[in-house]
Structure 1
Amino acid sequence: MSELLIRGGHIFDLTRSESADILLRDGRIAAIGVGLSTGGTIVEARGKIVMPGFINAHTHSNQALEKGLCDRFPLDAWMVIASYGGTNAELSPRDLYVSALIGAIEMIRTGSTSVLDMPRVNPASFEADTDAIMQAYADIGMRAAVAISYSDVNFPASLPLELVPGMDETLKPRRTAAVADLVSHLDAFIDRWKGRHPLLSPMVGPSSLPRCSTEMFEASVDLARRRGVGLQTHLLSGKSQVMVGEKRYGGSTVDFLKRIGCLEDWATFAHSIWLSDEEVRTLGASSAVAVHNPVSNMKLGAGVAPIPELRKAGGRIALGSDGASSADSQNMFETVKGAAILHRINHEQEDWILAEDALDMCWNGGAAALRQKIGQLTVGHAADIVLLHTRNMFDAPRDQLAGQIVHSELGGSVDTVIVAGEIALQNGRITRIDEAAIHAEAQEIVSRLHAGLPERMRRAQDFMPLFRELERRVSKTQLNFSRFCG
């Protein structure tokens, strides 16, 4: 039996704001009260704020070494640069291990204790790649649900190319993988990791609906249901994807998800931007989780997700940083603030998202996305806890304290991070890995990635006339949006 006592801190979550001790036992919160004692480790928290760890419900660990990759590129052009690579863009299993650690270091340093990661891997080294990523999270001691990302059609298949006549044959949609092969890889991944480590959960991650054939997506849903694991995908992150869905599914993409039984509590949908009013109602009435990514959506000009509308419709909403090559940061303080203030520019005051609303999406929405008892300082919940020093903050009533955490903090106050009762960050130091050595190795990988960047940029520029023409034609097409969403 392992015990740890957090003594004398100001406990803050969505249900309490008080000074008390927290006793952690065997990875869970065992007691909360005044004057608690233990024979185990004691963490002095007097003068500090004690809160649940943030939950990052959508990112891509394979991008953690690509901060600052590109600027002023919209979503589709960014996809060519970041996701479909070019010279020196492929990552080895060791590269993916280092990249996952770099992302985890940043998340832990800025108060995240849990992540839902959706990394791309090389189909030719699927087993080695996936195991390297899982091992990285095990080594640093971070809670992680890992939805391996895959697709079975090429990038042009995700675009409404029929709008642009005379397309080059090299840009035609085509299959890139066999459904049975991918399902076999995923089944084996789940076999290796389900129940193997208390902090790690394998998931399936069909990249997005347009980037998967209907057969592949339905097979992914069947696999998640059959194996009892979660599924994450990207949903309507670009306006043109509405048209792809209408052609492929004969109507609404969300209706298609409902027909195949995918709007369940084990399914999470990143971005969820270009939803019609009816789709908002359908998704909101379901038990699935939409994951809001305000920072990357703004940077890529992808659109503004209908989060206030989804909240009114009863939707379950989590928050995610998205990958570092689009959002450039894995800092959930930035994401939480973005979620709180973005929608004020196009909604009436009564629909504004308050600081506690943003924290609720991060904590309770994130817990729903990972389907775990996290995000609360409650007896029986996982002992995933963050201590903030108050050199830059002030003890205050709960509304004002929530406001400080959401609107004025960037992560510099994070002092101690505890995951499942084990200290992952203490006095600003990562405890379980040699951070300096990992950073040095990461720099070598980054230098290699940057050496191939000019070719990747040229490749994206070759696509730009197509993207501009598609954007022009999509913008002229009447889509059913009665509200502002981008």
Structure 2
Amino acid sequence: MADLIIKGGIVLTMDGAFIDNGTVVVDNGLITFVGKDTKEKADKVIDARGCAVMPGLINAHTHVPMTLFHGYADGLSYGEWIKKIQLAEMNLTPADVRSGAYLGVLEMIRSGTTTFADMYFHEDEVAQVVQGSGLRAALGYGMIEGLNEDAETKLKSREKFAKKWKGAADGRITTMYAPHSSVSCSKEFLIRVKELAARDNSRVHIHVLETENELKTMKERYGMCSINHLNSIGLLGSGVVAAHCIWLSDDDIDILKDKDGNVVHCPSSNMALGAGIAPVPQMLEKGINVALGTDGAASGGSLDMWKEMRSASLLHRLKDPRAMPAYTVLKMATVNGARALGINAGALAPGKLADIIVVDIKKPQFMSPNPVSALVHGASGCDVRTTIVNGKVLMEDRRVVGLDEEKIIRDAGYAMRNIIE
């Protein structure tokens, strides 16, 4: 007998197929069957009639505890924004980070995100929240060279974090090394990060060319841009997750393609901070793996990946209405995210991790002959009915399991007031 059967919905497998009145069977954390019907029995059956059944969304770049700064520095230039946020972050305690992480995890469960890639400080607090919440995460303890600790102490503590949490929470937690950027970390420091990541078989998560100022600074400092710099020290490739990648040249795109790099597009944050428009259609045309992320809620506004998909699609249609079709964007938020983070998820097929969401499409905005377009352009997190990770139901019929929502919101409110005051 299987653990779980989801039946009766429109199943989006992400291999181009739609199965009307389909069935998905889950056992021991894995998908074992996807099709029209099965004689298999299960301990639990979810009736998905009137719903889309699809892979959980993957937020491939965020700073989850920054939910505490929703709107705090809204309407400022990037330079003004970062100064105001960093001043507030100096007041953050580990307990505050935990409160912000719980708030973010709650938002993600309620909006259908099943995996997220995080980069922040006090990351042990985030790991503990992930462990208790049931979500899947790729976690990196952020590193800015010269801040708080000497370089070697910082590297050793991050190595300790990576080893402690790798494979924790029944395998739901993977760990990465997370140097902030090429500007905030020296060449020598990044080489050490590369060596540690290679030794641990871990990925590296780093901001790359988020701003024009980074491009100018790198050319002044090293005579080359961040992509060439990272490539020169061997820190590009399938094991590197490069967030933003806005200020890329054609040569940079070719290097990313040659090195099999992973890029994470964060359109809402990029627009909110006036950072620029990443050349995503060009990267996709070259065959580069481009995933999708919200960035932190302080800039992106929320952790709702539905909003992020819609932003990604519409932003790039300003120049070409044929750019970024709905299926491409949905693939960025599922299949491509899984590839970037190195997890066996992002699609519904036997052998894949059972990270699944059920979306209520019995609403006017979903009455369409093109269900993917209707979802990408019409859905929000509020339309997600059920969220499943590792075969475990984290939310059913909009009721979150195992988390005290009122306490999470109350604690986050206290933390916000303490930080800002």
Specify which of 195, 202, 208 is matched with residue 235 of structure 1. Answer: 208
Instruction: Tell whether 2:401 aligns with 1:401.
Output: no
Residue in structure 2 matched with residue 178 of structure 1 by the alignment: 150
The one-letter code of the counterpart of 1:217 is L
Q: What's the CA shift for 1:3?
A: 1.0
Asked which structure has the greater CA Rg, the reply is 1
- Looking at structure 1, the residues matched to 252 and 407 of structure 2 have their Cα atoms a distance apart, in angstroms, of 48
The one-letter code of the counterpart of 2:28 is D
The one-letter code of the counterpart of 2:358 is L
The one-letter code of the counterpart of 1:85 is L
Deviations, residues 436-469 of structure 1 (Å, cap 9, x unaligned): 1111111111111232xxxxxxxxxxxxxxxxxx
* Superposition pairs of residues 325-474 of structure 1, within 5 angstroms: 325-346=298-319, 348-350=320-322, 352-392=323-363, 393-394=365-366, 396-397=368-369, 400-451=370-421
The one-letter code of the counterpart of 1:102 is L
The one-letter code of the counterpart of 2:154 is L
TM-score, scaled relative to structure 2:
0.95
Specify which of 255, 268, 280 is matched with residue 282 of structure 1. Answer: 255
Specify which of 293, 300, 309 is matched with residue 282 of structure 2. Answer: 309
Residue in structure 2 matched with residue 147 of structure 1 by the alignment: 140
* Superposition pairs of residues 85-96 of structure 1, within 5 angstroms: 85-86=87-88, 89-96=90-97
Note if contact 1:297-1:304 (Cα within 8 Å) is conserved in structure 2: yes
Deviations, residues 32-90 of structure 1 (Å, cap 9, x unaligned): 231343241111112211011110000002211111112221222211111x224x742
Specify which of 19, 22, 33 is matched with residue 20 of structure 1. Answer: 22
- Looking at structure 2, the residues matched to 31 and 246 of structure 1 have their Cα atoms a distance apart, in angstroms, of 53
Q: What's the CA shift for 1:395?
A: 6.1
Residue in structure 2 matched with residue 32 of structure 1 by the alignment: 34
Residue in structure 2 matched with residue 56 of structure 1 by the alignment: 59
* Superposition pairs of residues 289-308 of structure 1, within 5 angstroms: 289-308=262-281
- Looking at structure 1, the residues matched to 410 and 158 of structure 2 have their Cα atoms a distance apart, in angstroms, of 32
Residue in structure 2 matched with residue 455 of structure 1 by the alignment: none
Instruction: Tell whether 2:284 aligns with 1:324.
Output: no
The one-letter code of the counterpart of 2:11 is I
Residue in structure 2 matched with residue 223 of structure 1 by the alignment: 196
- Looking at structure 2, the residues matched to 196 and 422 of structure 1 have their Cα atoms a distance apart, in angstroms, of 16
Note if contact 1:205-1:231 (Cα within 8 Å) is conserved in structure 2: yes
Residue in structure 1 matched with residue 110 of structure 2 by the alignment: 109
TM-score, scaled relative to structure 1:
0.83
- Looking at structure 2, the residues matched to 277 and 248 of structure 1 have their Cα atoms a distance apart, in angstroms, of 21
Structure 2: runs of 5 or more not aligned: none
Note if contact 1:66-1:324 (Cα within 8 Å) is conserved in structure 2: yes
Residue in structure 2 matched with residue 262 of structure 1 by the alignment: 235
RMSD over aligned Cα atoms: 1.6
Note if contact 2:327-2:372 (Cα within 8 Å) is conserved in structure 1: yes
Structure number with higher strand proportion: 2
Q: What's the CA shift for 1:396?
A: 4.8
- Identity across aligned pairs (percent)? 31
Note if contact 1:336-1:406 (Cα within 8 Å) is conserved in structure 2: yes
Note if contact 1:374-1:384 (Cα within 8 Å) is conserved in structure 2: yes
Q: Partner of 1:345: helix, strand, or coil?
A: coil
Q: What's the CA shift for 1:390?
A: 2.2
- Looking at structure 2, the residues matched to 309 and 286 of structure 1 have their Cα atoms a distance apart, in angstroms, of 16
- Looking at structure 2, the residues matched to 447 and 252 of structure 1 have their Cα atoms a distance apart, in angstroms, of 40
The one-letter code of the counterpart of 1:194 is K
- Looking at structure 2, the residues matched to 36 and 289 of structure 1 have their Cα atoms a distance apart, in angstroms, of 41
Residue in structure 2 matched with residue 195 of structure 1 by the alignment: 167
- Looking at structure 2, the residues matched to 367 and 117 of structure 1 have their Cα atoms a distance apart, in angstroms, of 14
* Superposition pairs of residues 204-219 of structure 1, within 5 angstroms: 204-219=177-192
Note if contact 1:179-1:215 (Cα within 8 Å) is conserved in structure 2: no
Deviations, residues 325-384 of structure 1 (Å, cap 9, x unaligned): 1112000001011111101113x344x110001011111210112101111011111100
The one-letter code of the counterpart of 1:73 is L
